[in-house]
Structure 1
Amino acid sequence: MQTLSCSTVALRAGIVLAGLAMATAPVAAQAPEIGMFNTLKKGGWLLRIRDDGSERRICVRDGREFIQLRHQQPGCSQFVVKDEPREVVVQYTCRGNGYGRTSIRREGPALVQIQTQGIANGVPFSFGGEARHTGAC
C-alpha cells in the first residue's frame, strides 16, 4: 500500500478542483442551429398581432428574428425546447431585462404562426400573431 504525503494529497485535490472549475465555467453561448429556419424565405416579413391588429415589419436574415420580438438586445441566452420540421419552441433569458418563451409554427416557407410570452422591463407580455413573407427587405 502506498503512503501519500499531505502535500501530494493537497496537490491532487487541487488538480481535481481545477478540472471541475473548468468543466463548470460558463462558455460563450453560440446560437444553436434550428433546422426549420433554413426552410423559411429570407427578406421582408409582415407580422400581424392578433390581439390588437397592429403590424410590424421584420427583415429576416436567418429566422431568429422571430424569437425575441419583445427583447431586441443581443446577448440573450437561448435554450431550444423543441426543434421539429414544422414547429420550434425557444426559451430565452436577457439578463437585467427579463425572459420569454416563443413558439413558431411553420405553415409554409412564407407563412408562420407565432405565440410568445414572458417578462420585459418588469412587465408581463403575451401575444400571438401571423407573419407573412412580403418580398425584399
Structure 2
Amino acid sequence: MRVSAKAIAIAAACLAGPVLAQGSLAMLDTLQKGGWEVRYRDGSASRKVCVRSGREFIQLRHTDSGCNRFVVEDGASEVTVQYTCRGNGYGRTNIRKETPALVQIDSQGIADGKPFQFSAEARRTASCD
C-alpha cells in the first residue's frame, strides 16, 4: 500500500496537537446588542447577559477569557464552537439564531471538574445595566 505525501502531511498535522480553526462567526455579529435573558430548559434560574458581540453565549459555564476555541460550524444561522480552558475544563456550544433577538443554545462539557449539559433559549430584553 502506497501512502501519498499529502496523506502523511495531514496525519502529521492531526497528531501534532490541536489546531485552532478560526471562522468568522459572522452570525453572532448579527445579534442585537444589549441585555439578554438566558432561560434554561431544565428549570434552573435564568441568567442575564450583556451582549456586545454575541460571543458571550459560547462560554456560559466558563468565564475564563484565555480559552482556546475551535470553530466546528460557521453558518449563516448556526454556529458550533468547541473550546478548552486550560486547567478548568472544556465545552462545546451550538447556537442557532431564530431572529436577531432570539437564539437557541445547547452546550456540554466539563467545568470545575464536573460535567455539564444544558439547553437554553436567550432573548434580548433591554439595554445592558
TM-score, normalised relative to structure 2: 0.81
Q: What is the CA deviation profile of residues 95-130 of structure 1, one whole-angstrom value per residue up to 9, with x for unaligned ones? A: 000000000000000000000000001100000000
**Higher helix proportion:** 1
- After superposition, the Cα gap between the structure-2 partners of 1:129 and 1:85, relative to the gap in structure 1 and judged at 3 Å, is same
Amino acid at match of 1:127: F
Q: 5+ residue gaps in structure 1?
A: 1-23
- After superposition, the Cα gap between the structure-2 partners of 1:31 and 1:136, relative to the gap in structure 1 and judged at 3 Å, is farther
Q: Which runs of 4+ in 1 moved over 2 A?
A: 29-33
Residue number in structure 1 paired with 2:97: 106
Q: Match of 1:65, SS?
A: helix
Structure 2 distance, partners of 1:63, 1:32, is 14
Q: Match of 1:132, SS?
A: strand
**Identity of aligned pairs, percent?**
60
- 1:130 equivalent in alignment to 2:127: no
Residue number in structure 2 paired with 1:75: 66
**Contact 2:22 / 2:71 at 8 angstroms: preserved in 1?**
no
**Contact 2:21 / 2:70 at 8 angstroms: preserved in 1?**
no
Residue number in structure 1 paired with 2:48: 57
Residue number in structure 2 paired with 1:33: 24
- 1:117 equivalent in alignment to 2:108: yes
Q: How many positions carry a matched residue from both structures?
A: 112
Residue number in structure 2 paired with 1:90: 81
- After superposition, the Cα gap between the structure-2 partners of 1:30 and 1:43, relative to the gap in structure 1 and judged at 3 Å, is farther
Q: 5+ residue gaps in structure 2?
A: 1-15
Structure 2 distance, partners of 1:53, 1:111, is 19
